[in-house]
Each structure stands twice: as C-alpha cells, then as structure tokens.
A and B are shown apart, each in its own frame.
Chain A
Amino acid sequence: VDDGTEPIADDELLYRRVPASLPWFNPATMRLMPQAFDPHRDRDVTGLSVFRAKYKAIDVAARGRPGKSYYIAVLQAMDIRQAGIAVEPRPHTPDGFDAAHAEMPDLRSDNRKESITLERQRVLVTLCRSVEGPFETPSV
C-alpha cells in the first residue's frame, strides 16, 4: 500500500511552491528564476522540498502564508533524475507526517553556495514543464 514512503516513480509529477510576492516568476514572460530553487539556510538541511502530485492537489500544494499567493512549478521525476539530481520521498517532516513531501537531497542548506548547486538550480528551471497559478492561500 502506498503511504508516501514508496519510491517516487519516474512518471510522477512534482510540485515546487514559488511565492508570488517575489519576482521569481514573471507571468508576462513566463520566465522562472533559479532563485525558485534556492535551498533555505535553515529549513532545507536534508534537501529542497517538493510535493508529489499523486498525494496533493495543486492548490493545496500551493498553500503558504494566509493571504499570500503562490505559483507551482511542475516537474517530472524522470527529468530531474536524468539531469543527475536525486529526488526521494521524505514524508516525515519537522511539522509532522505528510505523504506528499519529497526532497532533492543534492540541494541542501550546507551546499547552497557551491557552484554545483547554483548550476543545478538553473538546470531545474529548464526542466519545469509548466508554472501554474497563482493560487491564493485563504486568510484565517
């Protein structure tokens, strides 16, 4: 039975949340910036977070701060792996269990300034199949 711990299949779609409050995606030009794949210095210790589409609707994956809006960059696991970037299920998060949660362990807090990470961020931009949204997070 799939519970979020099973390996991510090559044909699975993955969602990366992109804040609409920042100029990381321009809907007029459809240009996505590599900053959308910046590992955070504290929160991406084990890898950059994405969500598995099989477990989470796109508008739910886009939820963030109440009242704010987010885009979703859509990627496919096979594309990421073919680019030499690993993606693994990580349903156990500091905030609890989330079957949809996955990570790219090659992009982490500790290597965020390394050249290979800066290159991988740009590779991920080229791998995006689409950018959807923006989706507004309802105010509480």
Chain B
Amino acid sequence: MATAELHTSILPRLDSAVSTGVDATSPATIDAPRVMQSAKWKGWIDDVLLQWLDNPGQLADDDVDPPSGTILRLALDHAEKLRDQGLPAPDSIIPDANGGIAFERRCNDISEVFHFWDDGTIEYHRFRGSHLVERYAI
C-alpha cells in the first residue's frame, strides 16, 4: 500500500511528541498516542485477526461465508503495515458476508474503510454519513 495513498486520510493522524532530550523518562515525554495506538493495533492483530486465521470457520453462519486464509493473511499484512506507518488503529475490524474483511475508523460523521474484498482486491472508502464521497482501489 502506498504511503502517499494512506496520507490522503482526512481523519486525524497521530503526531509524535516532540522530543527535547531534556527528560526522556517522565511519562509526559513518552510518545503516548503512538504507544496507545500500537497497543490497539496489537489487540486487533493478536486477539482478532490471528484468532480468526487460526479458525476461520468460527465466522461461518447462515448466509455468511468466512474469509479464506488468503484474505485473512492479506488483512494481517496490511494491519502490520498500517501500524508500522503510525496510522491510527481502526475502531472496528469486521468480516463481511462474503469472505471479505473491513477495517473501519470513525470520526464524527466521517467513516474511513479499508475493504478487503473476497476476491483479494483492496479498496479505500470514505463516507460522510451514508454518502460515499471517495473510493479507490489500493
């Protein structure tokens, strides 16, 4: 995923704390937002995506096809990339009904979605309320 594409996100990006070198140990100078987001990503990756990869069948239900291992690995790879680029963790990671997965982040009436479709294509969607105002393939 191209970094330039990710930076088109209109939701607040995490800005690192400015280090002065004067006090590197007190909590005030720790890069708290980034640490917090990294922990949130870790939760999604370890407690959700890896759990699903271990047993995709747990997501099968009436009229719901579970994601394949390929799609889960694709989503995992992208979660790690987004985390490593310092982007905020999603508010939701949700399987769709057809073997796809969506990462969704919300801020007021704006929702940003990375949709990993069942055929392996990845799209970025930005909604304002229910209106899709931006959509492109990654």
CB within 8 Å of B: which A37-81 residues: 38-41, 43-44, 49, 64-65, 68
Residues of A within 8 A of B61 (CB): 19, 21-22, 64-65, 68
**B114, chain A: closest CB distance, angstroms:** 13
Closest chain B residue to A109, Cβ basis = B98
Q: At the interface, yes or no: A129 with Cβ under 8 Å from chain B?
A: no
What total count of A-B pairs have CB within 8 Å? 63
Q: Could you tell me the distance between the alpha carbons of A40 and B98 in the complex, rounded to whole angstroms? A: 6
SS class, residues of chain B in contact with chain A: strand
Which residue in chain A gives the minimum CB-CB distance to B104?
A33
Q: Is the CB of B62 within 8 A of A115?
A: no
> In whole angstroms, how far apart are the Cα atoms of A122 and B63 in the complex?
19
A35 touches B125 (CB 8 A): no
One of B20-28, B78-86, B128-136 contacting the partner: B128-136
Interface size on B, residues (CB 8 A): 24
Query: Which one, B64, B104, B127, contacts A22 given CB within 8 A?
Result: B64
Residue in contact with A24 in the complex, picked from B58, B94, B117, B135, CB distance below 8 Å: B94
Residues B94-138 near A (CB distance < 8 A) = 94-98, 102, 104, 117-118, 125, 127, 129-132, 135
Asked if B95 contacts A126 (CB within 8 A), the reply is no
Minimum C-beta distance from B83 to chain A (A): 20
